[in-house]
Chain A
Amino acid sequence: MNPSTAGSLAEPTYLNHETTVRSWLLTRDHKRIGVMFLVLVISALLLGGVFAMLLRIELLTPGPTIMGPMTYNRVFTLHGVTMVWLFMIPAIPSAFGNFVLPLMLGAKEVAFPRLNLASVYIYAAGAALTVFGMVWSGADTGWTFYTPYSTTSPTAVTPILLGVFIIGFSTIITGLNFITTTHTLRAPGMHWSRIPLFVWAIYGTSVIQVVATPVLAMVLVLVALERVAGVGIFDPTRGGDPVLFQHMFWFYSHPAVYIMVLPAMGVITEVVCAFSRKNIFGYRMIAASTFGIAFVGFFSWGHHMFVSGQSTFGSGIFGVLSMLVAIFTAIKIFNWVATMYGGAIDLKVPLLYVLGFIFLLTFGGMTGVAVATTSLDVHWHDTYFIVAHFHYIMVGSVLMAFLAALHYWWPKMFGRLFPERWASVAACTIIFGFIVTFLPQFLLGNMGMPRRYYQYPSEMQWLNVLSTAGASLLAFGFGLIGLYLVWSLRYGKVSPANPWGSRGYEWFSASPPGPHNFREPPRFEREVHDYTVSEAPHVF
């Protein structure tokens, strides 16, 4: 091969080597599957975002504004269900994990490409069933489906339960696929101690997915059984125990918050290195703390049940165990900061999102420790304080990392650059809008405004107006991002193979990569993000 043409744009890429619709729908290429997931989860984000705006508009005034109370119950349920189950859980692993994990390992494919394709369709089927349930008659249980209300509510809870159940299978399959890929398809030179930290994060997430998701599936089926066949498992009037539902639900759903956050942390690690031009500070500690979080995350589910009638003894244990998670999170935060310290910081758009991430995660995590204190939680439970806590930490981290990843890997995925100036404006709008939306909610909660209520005393109005104003800023920021990204697909500057000068292994492939990722199998002869070497020698 003539070296001077290496990396030229004439090479076929995964995007243009076949262009029929059929070649996309039946593809087994992890990169195309990642792109399909990206489109699906962004659609979910949009849908959930529309519901969010409806909620915030309703809360502009103390009384009824644009909808009735029953509609309000359905809208917050739809918002939560869509955002949690359709967006936050699959977003980073299924879209970006699929796209970059094999590239980072130097693999041609994931271990089970057909299963990977199946996971797209399973996700789509589950999402379709969920959306069908929403359109049919909605559900008014909240995203947590608490019994005994969810077993008696006259709304369409059953199709939504089954939809979420089906999506769970997609999650499990994706997790298994990533675990197997990491074990079996690493390129020569890729020792366990060289695996990029994004891969470690996805790997840890996959373990949680495989271990915990079956419990969710089981409890959803039990609720559906109780609704359809009247089996008395959770309903106390039939001899059941409603707190048992909460145990089983949170045994999955607390670790599930780490299913959302760990991949986000993985993205942040990659981006911090690339834009500080330094290898990560404390590689081993970051990898190990991923597993610390994954493990301890399984011991803390009871902190959601402090006021459920759970035993005081149980609450005490769960409260203390919850606080352990904060230690592992702090390890990561200190390591990111230490990586930036003394680095040659290049404040590009992805790094802006990282700064937003670090602030929101720290703030949200500290309020987490506060609500894990049983005595304080009695005051805050089911108020807007909790809403603010979990939006800060969950939405703050997943959304920031999702946007960081989208901008960081955009040139890799589509071979185009986005307009930097516009993107910085959007990033600042999003971060600022986010803080304006959710900071007032801490105050609202502390003043005693319950979550999931559609009316409130008029002294609380100004904080609600502030929150809605922030949400509008957020919506504006998203609109902007959507516009310039779609614009860049066609008119953006053609990106060089490695526009950021990153030393991440995924940049060893062309941008966008060829159909088989690498022309010749890469050999990884240095640590990931080793900035002491000159630029990656050539694109494989």
Chain B
Amino acid sequence: MAEHGRKSVWGYVGIWGVLVVLTVATWLLGTRGHLGHWSLPVALGIALTKTALVAMFFMHLVEQPGARRVVFPVSALFLALLLGLSLVEAMTRVRMARPDGPKALEPVRPASTRTAPPGSPTRRVGH
């Protein structure tokens, strides 16, 4: 990190500025941007950057070599493990229990209707 060891108030204000810019970027992405498949990864990337900035500077982790070199990477590794393997599993699942079979996948319908309660018009069991 370029700002290593920065202590002055202006440093914090600068970081705050960066956070505001990133927030605005997220908002623009959600309302104007048309990134399609990429919108989720980009939004998550921005969120991660913001998290790292807050943790490093506002929580002063940048001044803690132990945290920076060991705790941070290890936590990131395990988080990646949990989220990664769970996501891989969810993405490769054969949806036997899906009400309308594997043909109609997410993009067609809003996620909120994915598993409608039995008896509702969007749920057809066994055609």
Given A251-B82, A299-B81, A314–B92 Cβ distance below 8 Å?
A: yes
Given A239-B112, A298-B78, A299-B81, A311–B117 Cβ distance below 8 Å?
A: no
Are B85 and A302 in contact (CB-based, < 8 A)?
yes
* Cβ contact of A311, chosen from B81, B93, B115, B118, cutoff 8 A: B93
CA distance A243 to B86 in the complex (A): 9
Are B89 and A309 in contact (CB-based, < 8 A)?
no
Task: Give 1 or 0 for each of A230-246: 1 = CB within 8 Å of chain B CB.
Answer: 00000011010101100
A312 interface contact, C-beta 8 A: yes
Q: Is the interface of B mostly helix, strand, loop or mixed?
A: helix
Are A215 and B82 in contact (CB-based, < 8 A)?
yes
Chain B residues within 8 Å of A317, by CB: 85, 88
CA distance A302 to B114 in the complex (A): 25
* Cβ contact of A211, chosen from B78, B86, B112, B115, cutoff 8 A: B78
Q: How many residues of A contact B (CB 8 A)?
A: 22
A313 interface contact, C-beta 8 A: yes
Are A313 and B92 in contact (CB-based, < 8 A)?
yes
Chain A residues within 8 Å of B75, by CB: 211
Are A298 and B89 in contact (CB-based, < 8 A)?
no
Are A311 and B78 in contact (CB-based, < 8 A)?
no
B59 interface contact, C-beta 8 A: no
Are B89 and A247 in contact (CB-based, < 8 A)?
yes
CA distance A236 to B97 in the complex (A): 11
> Which chain A residues in 209-256 approach chain B with CB under 8 Å?
211-212, 215, 236-237, 239, 241, 243-244, 247-248, 251
CA distance A309 to B94 in the complex (A): 8
> Which chain A residues in 296-337 approach chain B with CB under 8 Å?
298-299, 302, 309-314, 317
Contact count band on B: 20 to 34
Task: Give 1 or 0 for each of B87-127: 1 = CB within 8 Å of chain A CB.
Answer: 01111111011000000000000011011011000000000
Chain B residues within 8 Å of A241, by CB: 90
Given A241-B90, A244-B86, A298-B78, A309–B115 Cβ distance below 8 Å?
A: no
Please name the residue on chain A nearest to B82 by beta carbon: A251
CA distance A212 to B96 in the complex (A): 31
B35 interface contact, C-beta 8 A: no
Are B93 and A239 in contact (CB-based, < 8 A)?
no
Are B89 and A239 in contact (CB-based, < 8 A)?
no
CA distance A239 to B123 in the complex (A): 12
Chain A residues within 8 Å of B44, by CB: none
CA distance A397 to B111 in the complex (A): 46
CA distance A244 to B82 in the complex (A): 11
Chain A residues within 8 Å of B118, by CB: 237
* Cβ contact of B115, chosen from A236, A248, A312, cutoff 8 A: A236
Are A309 and B96 in contact (CB-based, < 8 A)?
yes
Please name the residue on chain B nearest to A240 by beta carbon: B115
B48 interface contact, C-beta 8 A: no
CA distance A299 to B90 in the complex (A): 16
Chain A residues within 8 Å of B112, by CB: 239
Given A237-B115, A239-B115, A311–B94 Cβ distance below 8 Å?
A: yes
Are B93 and A309 in contact (CB-based, < 8 A)?
yes
Are B114 and A239 in contact (CB-based, < 8 A)?
yes
Expressed in whole angstroms, the minimum distance between the Cβ of A170 and any Cβ of chain B is 21
> Which chain B residues in 12-58 approach chain A with CB under 8 Å?
none
CA distance A313 to B86 in the complex (A): 12
Chain B residues within 8 Å of A248, by CB: 82, 86
Expressed in whole angstroms, the minimum distance between the Cβ of B23 and any Cβ of chain A is 25
Are A312 and B85 in contact (CB-based, < 8 A)?
no
Chain B residues within 8 Å of A215, by CB: 82
CA distance A485 to B19 in the complex (A): 63
B67 interface contact, C-beta 8 A: no
Are B97 and A311 in contact (CB-based, < 8 A)?
no
Please name the residue on chain A nearest to B111 by beta carbon: A239
CA distance A241 to B78 in the complex (A): 22
* Cβ contact of B89, chosen from A212, A237, A302, cutoff 8 A: A302
Please name the residue on chain A nearest to B66 by beta carbon: A183
CA distance A248 to B96 in the complex (A): 22
Residue of B82, B88, B89, B97 with most partner-chain A CB within 10 A? B89
Chain A residues within 8 Å of B97, by CB: 309
Which residues of A line the B interface, CB within 8 A? Answer: 211-212, 215, 236-237, 239, 241, 243-244, 247-248, 251, 298-299, 302, 309-314, 317
Instruction: List 20 A-B pairs, Cβ < 8 Å.
Output: A211-B74, A212-B78, A239-B111, A239-B114, A243-B90, A243-B93, A247-B86, A298-B78, A298-B81, A299-B85, A310-B93, A311-B89, A311-B91, A311-B92, A311-B93, A311-B94, A312-B94, A313-B88, A313-B92, A314-B89
Which residues of B line the A interface, CB within 8 A? Answer: 74-75, 78, 81-82, 85-86, 88-94, 96-97, 111-112, 114-115, 117-118
Closest 3 CB pairs of A and B: A314-B89, A311-B92, A313-B92
Known: A247-B89, A298-B81, A299-B85. 16 other contacts (CB 8 A): A211-B74, A211-B78, A236-B115, A237-B115, A241-B90, A302-B89, A310-B89, A310-B93, A311-B90, A311-B93, A311-B94, A312-B92, A312-B94, A313-B92, A314-B89, A317-B85
